[in-house]
């Protein structure tokens, strides 16, 4: 009976309400203005719900999401005109690379874009802040970096770059930055992914303020 109940819960699981709440919150912070950014959550069958392309993140409804299946097929709740986010290939790559990932969040912020231009290399050294613990680095004065990727108009090229690099070397933290674009995080729950976005944006804000202050 207990197993039947768990199976029923899995079948009926719908993360879209929580995704809408996260998008509304991020929009209020100025991280998902207009139609920028995209959020997704994985389902028990390996598919995932993702925000539709061109949808305002401050006023999403459940009909503004598309369900993407492992074979590439999609399901739109009501409107056939609703297309999956242009960055769906990045989410697909993250779920393929990290089996325990249940959510993948991507936002755009001014601070993230500024930080992405601090160096010319392919990784950003992060300051040894206490907040880094929230990303899973439990060390005193951690030596931590965030992977940095070049932006491309054709998003599948970004996804390919991510997959190639992460197959060769796993990142220290569940986050990456795309130059002049934004941060992407992944986590084993929607709540944790939301926390990761808040932490990374705090770190970016600190880095911008520290540079301005000459620290």
Residue positions in the annotated binding site?
106, 108
Bind-site residues for Zn(2+): 106, 108
Quick check: helix, strand or coil at residue 121? coil
Distance, CA of 210 to CA of 115 (rounded, Å): 11
Beta-carbon contacts of 129 under 8 Å, excluding residues fewer than 6 positions away, are 203, 206
Phi/psi for 185 (5° steps) reads -130, 160
Angle formed at CA 97 by CA 112 and CA 3, multiple of 5 degrees = 115
Residue 162 contacts residue 150 (beta carbons within 8 Å): no
65: left (phi over 0), alpha (psi -120 to 50) or beta: beta
Residue 39 Cα distances to 12, 112, 116, angstroms: 20, 17, 21
What does DSSP say about strands 175-178 and 144-149: parallel, antiparallel, or unpaired?
A: parallel
């Amino acid at each position: 009976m207990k197993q039947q109940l768990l199976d029923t819960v899995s079948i009926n699981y719908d993360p879209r309400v929580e995704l809408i709440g996260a998008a509304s919150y991020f929009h209020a912070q100025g991280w998902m203005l207009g139609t920028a950014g995209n959020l997704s959550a994985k389902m028990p069958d390996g598919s995932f719900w993702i925000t539709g392309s061109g949808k305002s993140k401050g006023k999403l409804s459940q009909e503004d999401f598309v369900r993407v299946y492992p074979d590439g097929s999609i399901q739109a709740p009501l409107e056939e005109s609703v297309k999956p986010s242009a960055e769906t290939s990045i989410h697909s790559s993250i779920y393929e690379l990290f089996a325990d990932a249940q959510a993948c969040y991507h936002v755009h912020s001014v601070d993230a874009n500024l930080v992405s231009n601090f160096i010319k290399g392919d990784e950003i050294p992060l300051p040894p802040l206490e907040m880094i613990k929230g990303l899973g680095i439990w060390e005193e004065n951690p030596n931590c970096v965030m992977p940095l990727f070049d932006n491309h108009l054709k998003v599948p090229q970004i996804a390919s770059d991510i997959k190639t690099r992460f197959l060769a070397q796993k990142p220290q933290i569940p986050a990456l930055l795309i130059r002049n674009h934004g941060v992407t995080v992944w986590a084993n729950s929607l709540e944790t992914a939301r926390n990761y976005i808040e932490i990374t944006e705090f770190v970016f804000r600190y880095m911008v303020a520290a540079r301005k202050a000459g620290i």
